Amino acid sequence: MDFPRTADDVDALVGTMNSILGDIATTLPKATALTATAAELDGRVRVSVNARGIVTETAIDEDALTTVTAARLGAAITAAAQAAAHEVGTKAQEVWAPITEAQRSMPRASDILDGLPDISTMFGVKPEPPLTPPHHEPTDAEVYVELEHPATTDDEPYFEDAQDATAGRGPFTDRAW
């Protein structure tokens, strides 16, 4: 695209820039107010996020706490959070689309000043962050236990070394008594 060289061309360019700035001012409150909610486990786990994809609310039905393993519940919460973040990202792209298109129609700085590099090519494409957990070595505070005899279903927790805490004691169950 050739840079406009006449005063009328510059006026049109400035008018377009002012229009885009006005559109940004109008769109910004809409974009920052975006939210999304996603559900997992047949709606028993729901996660809501704000416009930045940050979790603002997590709701878990009580029956999910007793019928689902901790690992499956954690995976469901993570999946719901990622789905909600993806949804709010899609909504944001739709809200900003008219402005993005208007900006693409504007000349680049490298079109205006000869020899100026195209900044958009200098930094490359923004990488997408991974959706998998980071690999890390457990600290002393973290304890991971693998059961030799895992539960056969989510409804049957298995405790190999469990003992009856009240066996051989009187009617009081608090050791402070």
Express each pLDDT in 16-46 by its tens digit. 888 889 999 999 999 999 999 999 999 999 9
So what's the pLDDT on residue 2? Answer: 54
Q: Which amino acid is at 12?
A: A
In whole angstroms, give the CA distance from residue 9 to residue 158. Answer: 76
**Strand order, beta sheet including 45-49:** 36-40, 45-49, 55-60
Look up residue 112 and give its two tokens: 């205006």
Domains of the chain by residue range = 20-110
So what's the pLDDT on residue 144? Answer: 52
Q: Model-level pTM?
A: 0.64
Position 156 pLDDT exceeds 50 = yes
Q: By C-alpha distance, which of 159, 140, 141, 137 is closest to 149? A: 159
Terminal alpha carbon distance of the chain: 85
Place domain 20-110 in its CATH homologous superfamily. Nucleoid-associated protein YbaB-like domain (3.30.1310.10)
Q: Which amino acid is at 173?
A: T
Q: In this predicted model, which residue has the larger pLDDT, 125 or 103?
A: 103
Please answer whether residues 61 and 44 qualify as being in contact, where contact means their C-beta atoms are separated by less than 8 angstroms: yes
So what's the pLDDT on residue 130? Answer: 79
